[in-house]
A and B are shown apart, each in its own frame.
Chain A
């Protein structure tokens, strides 16, 4: 009981945020792997999707993922509101301190890029997971969902491409602070390699968001069809 109460302290909250955030980041990597299979053609892509969908562990995994996601969102929002309450009367003039500060556009907008991501995920699930169901026959002769076709169809429409690219920029901003910050929150930021971790966080954010964003673009321009 005491442990639970402690997890809701300011530090406990940040530890949870970091832990769930890093887990979600892990999920993103897995997701990205699946997306990139699109470059290898419909068969590989659908086969991977089928393997995931047909795995009996998918339901508990999804529930777990949802839980991580909801905890992250809930804790982050509560944390944001609590932090706002810590300075009821704001400064009339406030500047970035520079120097050793790690403040960035990403770090200043975490709650907003996070909530935007929440919205994006909802739309994203509606569009794909609960979108049109096409079927095709896979390599083994079994019938499997043709997600590839849905994916190509969606990204032939400019409005989807633009909104996806924008969303990925927002996700990238979130990751830009989130990845390295979670190391700090968990207290596993190495003492002597802090700058490296910060830089790696930035590079990972750009690369991951970029790779996610590039697929809709290449589909739209017909480079993948």
Chain B
């Protein structure tokens, strides 16, 4: 197959960016989207040109490193799929695709399709943990946790921190990411001690990073590779006003 690409090229954080057209020839339907880009890049490098900068690592949809807009949708058109797991058989010969980086005040562009997502680390630093030091833990089975509770916590904990939720949201809100961690820990007995301060501090940090608020449209859930539910955001909101009332 032949795929026409319009790719955002931006030399650095402060550089002026623009779209550049490329054509990927002889694309096999078995290739992943990133492998297709690898081939395009090989061609550029052989011509002495700089490759399109995009980030990826595990290439099996779990590390959350990869991600950019494929024709207006984060990670492309396939639901529950990171762009590294998106395969070219989902496209047709002659398709024209537009590739853009995530765009958000909280995610400044570093180069081409790569953005700085360190804001997510700082949101976790604000309280996305249980304050237990290594060593003093009691026996793991001393606290019983119902199977459904553990499963629900796991649903929230499955977030890979790729940032697609922010990218999809019209407000560039980080509510889904932040709420997934808040929900995960608020469901479990281990997370109870810091439950109130956690939600207040993490939300404060999320706002400081320049992310917008949630409009409850659920575009984030629709593009989330792990299908993290909007229920997490409802939980965060509830936890939030409860924390205010009890503070």
* A86 CB-CB contact with B under 8 Å: yes
Name B212's contact: one of A6, A82, A101, A177 (CB within 8 Å).
A82
Name A184's contact: one of B106, B207, B230 (CB within 8 Å).
B230
Contacts A14-B237, A86-B211 given; does A97 touch B216 at CB 8 Å: no
From 82 to 109 in chain A, residues with beta carbon under 8 angstroms from any chain B beta carbon are 82-83, 85-103, 107-108
Distance (Å) between the CB of A21 and the closest chain B CB? 12
* A167 CB-CB contact with B under 8 Å: no
1/0 contact string of A167-200 vs chain B (CB within 8 Å): 0000000000100110111111101001000000
Chain A residue total in the interface (Cβ 8 A) = 48
Distance (Å) between the CB of A13 and the closest chain B CB? 6
Among residues of A, the one whose C-beta sits closest to the C-beta of B200 is A6
* B217 CB-CB contact with A under 8 Å: yes
From 197 to 247 in chain B, residues with beta carbon under 8 angstroms from any chain A beta carbon are 200, 203-204, 206-207, 210-219, 221-223, 227, 230-231, 233-241, 244, 247
* B12 CB-CB contact with A under 8 Å: no
* A110 CB-CB contact with B under 8 Å: yes
Among residues of A, the one whose C-beta sits closest to the C-beta of B217 is A103
A6 to B199 CA separation, bound complex (whole angstroms)? 11
Question: Which of B20-28, B53-61, B136-144, B166-174 touches A?
Answer: B166-174
Name A187's contact: one of B19, B79, B212, B236 (CB within 8 Å).
B236
B73 lies within 8 A of A95 (CB): yes
Among residues of A, the one whose C-beta sits closest to the C-beta of B167 is A91
The B interface, classified by DSSP as helix, strand, loop or mixed, is mixed
A14 lies within 8 A of B214 (CB): yes
* A23 CB-CB contact with B under 8 Å: no
- Tell me which residues across on chain B come within 8 A of A117, comparing CB atoms: none
Name A99's contact: one of B74, B105, B213, B222 (CB within 8 Å).
B222
A132 to B19 CA separation, bound complex (whole angstroms)? 61
Contacts A15-B240, A101-B217, A181-B215 given; does A191 touch B231 at CB 8 Å: yes
- What bracket does the count of chain B residues touching chain A fall in? 35 or more
Contacts A79-B213, A93-B98, A187-B234 given; does A100 touch B222 at CB 8 Å: yes
Distance (Å) between the CB of A198 and the closest chain B CB? 10
B71 lies within 8 A of A83 (CB): no
Distance (Å) between the CB of A7 and the closest chain B CB? 7
* B72 CB-CB contact with A under 8 Å: yes
- Tell me which residues across on chain A come within 8 A of B219, comparing CB atoms: 96-97, 101, 103
B217 lies within 8 A of A11 (CB): no
A85 to B209 CA separation, bound complex (whole angstroms)? 12
- Tell me which residues across on chain A come within 8 A of B171, comparing CB atoms: 83, 86-87
A99 lies within 8 A of B79 (CB): yes
* A157 CB-CB contact with B under 8 Å: no
Distance (Å) between the CB of A177 and the closest chain B CB? 8
A102 lies within 8 A of B72 (CB): no
1/0 contact string of B167-195 vs chain A (CB within 8 Å): 01011110100000000000000000000
Name A86's contact: one of B72, B100, B172, B240 (CB within 8 Å).
B172
B240 lies within 8 A of A87 (CB): no
Name B216's contact: one of A88, A93, A184 (CB within 8 Å).
A184
B234 lies within 8 A of A189 (CB): yes
A10 to B218 CA separation, bound complex (whole angstroms)? 16
Name the residue among A92, A188, A194 with the largest chain B CB count within 10 angstroms.
A92
Distance (Å) between the CB of A29 and the closest chain B CB? 22
1/0 contact string of A5-23 vs chain B (CB within 8 Å): 0110111111100000000
Contacts A83-B171, A101-B221, A186-B237 given; does A88 touch B72 at CB 8 Å: no
Which 6 A-B pairs rank lowest in CB-CB distance, beginning with the nearest? A187-B238, A86-B212, A95-B72, A10-B213, A83-B171, A97-B222
Beyond known contacts A10-B206, A103-B217, A187-B241: 12 more, CB 8 A cutoff: A12-B241, A14-B237, A79-B213, A83-B173, A86-B105, A86-B172, A88-B105, A92-B19, A102-B217, A103-B219, A107-B216, A185-B216
